[in-house]
Amino acid sequence: MKCVRQLAGLCLAAIIAVPAMAIDLTPVPAAPGSPFHEPMGGYVVDGPVYVDSAPVPLFTNVKYVDKREIHPCAVTKIIQVNDPCACKDKCNCCGPKCVFIEICVPPCGCEDVICRRDGDRVRYDYGKYAVDVRVKKGYIVVDYQK
């Protein structure tokens, strides 16, 4: 019985604390006769969705260059790039192997992505700021440009 009371008290505390940090998630009804289905859960989120932690393990052998040229209000973004440790057979039997890394980008979200050399060189261009990602042998280089 004591455990039930403690659990009820914790649940009540969580319910009281949630409105202080909650986001308005009021469902938006679909227009009548709309061919689009209602999103899962019935909620529509405006703007980018930020995740607190990576959904998959991040590749750790990453060298960051020119960190002082990062946008002052930068947000982190998890991107997928070629695995620098994957086999480079001509038969392509392994398929393209990829890893996830974290980069810092401006919050505007209006990017031009330029991919060269079969994905071994990727540039995220934001106008005044840019991020160059280069896959080397055994590691990845992330170079911030201003």
What is the b/e burial string over 26-65, where b = at least 16 CB atoms within 10 angstroms of the residue's CB? eeeeeeeeeeeeeeeeeeeeeeeeeeeeeeeeebeebeee
Question: Is 136 within a domain?
Answer: yes
Closest CA to 75 of 126, 23, 134: 126
Question: Is 36 within a domain?
Answer: yes
Closest CA to 102 of 66, 139, 75, 76: 76
Question: Is 51 within a domain?
Answer: no
CA distance 138 to 146: 27
Identify the band that residue 63 occupies on the pLDDT scale cut at 50, 70 and 90: very high
Question: Is 69 within a domain?
Answer: yes
Backbone angles phi, psi at 118, to 5 degrees: 55, 35
Global pTM reads: 0.58
Find the domain containing 28 and state its range: 2-42
Q: Is the pLDDT of residue 56 over 90?
A: no
Identify the band that residue 123 occupies on the pLDDT scale cut at 50, 70 and 90: very high
Using one digit for the tens of pLDDT, what is the confidence trace for 65-106? 999 999 998 999 999 998 888 776 656 666 568 899 999 999
The total number of structural domains that make up the chain: 2
80, 33: one domain: no
Q: Is the pLDDT of residue 124 over 80?
A: yes
